[in-house]
Amino acid sequence: MSIYFDKVPPQNIEAEQLVLGAMLIDRESIPVVMGILQADDFFREGHRLVYSAIIGLFERGDPVDLVTLAEEFRRLDELDRVGGLPYLAFLITSVPTSVSVEHHASIVKEKALLRALINLSNRLVNRSYEGREDIQVLLDEAEQQITEISQRGVMQSFASLQDILLETYDRLQQLQEQGNRATGLPTYYPDLDRLLGGLQPGELILLAARPAMGKTSLSLNIAQNVALRAKLPVAIFSLEMAKEQLVQRMLCAEARLDQGRFRTGRLAEDEWVSLTRAMGLLAEAPIYIDDTPAISVNEMRSKARRLKAVKGLALLVVDYLQLIQTTRRFENRTQEISEISRFLKALARELAVPVLALSQLSRAVEQTQDKRPNLSHLRESGALEQDSDIVLFIYRHDYYFADSDKPNIAEIIIAKHRNGPTGSVELAFLKEFTKFVNLLKEPMPG
C-alpha cells in the first residue's frame, strides 16, 4: 500500500541525462560519477542500463563512446530497451561540457535517497497495519534501514598523505600542549592513564577477569569517575545485574559504605550522612543504565544511537559481552562471540566513543600455578583479542593465596595495547565498598 499512490516519485531526468552524457564525452568523468552513484540510483530503467554498460566498458579498459556503447547493447540484445541509437546520440549531444558532472550526479543521488525513504516508509506502513511482528523488532529494523540509507549518501574517498600529515602534526602540537595529561578520556586512575593515555574514541577496551575479581566494580568506578569528575555522559548496558543492584554498588563506592550493612539498612548516623551526600552527587551524574537481559545487538545499537543523539555520549560500558544476543544462528559459540566482538568494535567506531566491554575468562586460569591470566585465557573466541584495541585483566593475588604479601591489592594487567605499551599497575581494592582506589606507586613496565 502506498499512501501517496497518485504522486510521481522524486526524480530528475535531465540530471540523469547530463550525467550519462558527461560520462560519454569525457572518460575522466566516469570514476568521478562511480564514486557517487550506483546503477540503482537512476530512476529510468534505460538510464540504469546505460550506466551499467558504461561502467562495464570502462572497467574492461575499452573505449567509451557512441559506437562501443551501441555495440555493447546489440551484443546484449538490449538496444531497443534504452531507446535505440537515436537516444544514445541524444545523450551525447545534450551535454556541452562535463564540468558540472559532480553536481548533477549529486542531484541524482539526492532523488534516489528520497525514493529509498519513500519505499521504506511504505513497507513500514504495510507491516504496521498487519501488526504481526514484535514492535521492538520493527523499530530496530526501521532504524537500521534508515541508517543504511543515510550511509548511501555519504561519499568516503581517499585522503591524501599531505592532509593526513597536517592532521597528525596538529594532533602532536595538541599533545605537547597537554603535557602529561591523558590524551583520551581519563579513567582518573593516574598510573593506568599514563600507560593507556586515557580511553580513546572508537576503541574497544576489553576488561576480563574470573568471577569475583571486581570487573563490574572497576567498570562502575570508571563510569562514576567520568560522569562525576569530567561531567560527561556515560551509558551502561547491564545484562547480568539489575539497575537497582548497580546503583547500590555505586552508592556504597561513593559513600564508602559496607555493602552488607547497606543491604540490612542498619547504618550509623554518620553513615546516613555519607549516604545522603553520595545520593546527592550521583543524582547529578549523567549516567544512563539499561538493564535489559539478553539484549540483542540491534537493540543495543539502536538505544546507544538514540542516547547519543539526545543526551550525548562519552563512554559506553557493556557488562558483559557473552550475554549479548545475536540476530542469527551460528554453527558454534565461537562464531557467535566473534560476531559480538566485531559488533562492539563497529559500534565504538560508529559512535566515536570508547566502548568498555566486560568479558569472562576461561577456567583454564585456575589450572595455572600462579593463577595469572593471559590472552590465551579469553573465553570462547580469539576474535576478542583481535578486535580489541586494549585488553585489561584484573588479578588479585590475595584471592588465591591466603598468605599473600599483597592483601587488598589488585593488579590491572595491560595484556594488549594496540597503540601503546603493555604493562601493569596496582590499585587498592576495598572489597567491602566495591571500590578501586589509587596507590602511590609507579606502574610496573611490561
**What is the CB neighbour count within 10 angstroms for residue 227?**
23
Map grid coordinates 566486560 to a residue: 358
**293-325 CB burial, b ≥16 within 10 A, e <16:** eebbbbbbbbbbbebbeeeebbbbbbbbbbbbb
**What is the CB neighbour count within 10 angstroms for residue 49?**
20
CA dist 202 to 12, 190, 309, 351, 413, Å? 39, 21, 17, 7, 21
Q: Can you read off the three cell numbers belonging to residue 243?
A: 539497575
240 is a catalytic site residue: yes
For 51: left if phi > 0, alpha if psi spans -120 to 50, otherwise beta; the answer is alpha
Handedness of CA 120, 122, 128, 131 (dihedral sign): negative
Is residue 17 helix, strand or coil? helix
From the list 102, 110, 240, 350, the catalytic residue is 240
- DSSP state string for 200-260: PTT-EEEEEE-TTS-HHHHHHHHHHHHHHHS---EEEEESSS-HHHHHHHHHHHHHT--HH
Is residue 180 helix, strand or coil? coil
Q: What are the residue numbers of the active site?
A: 240
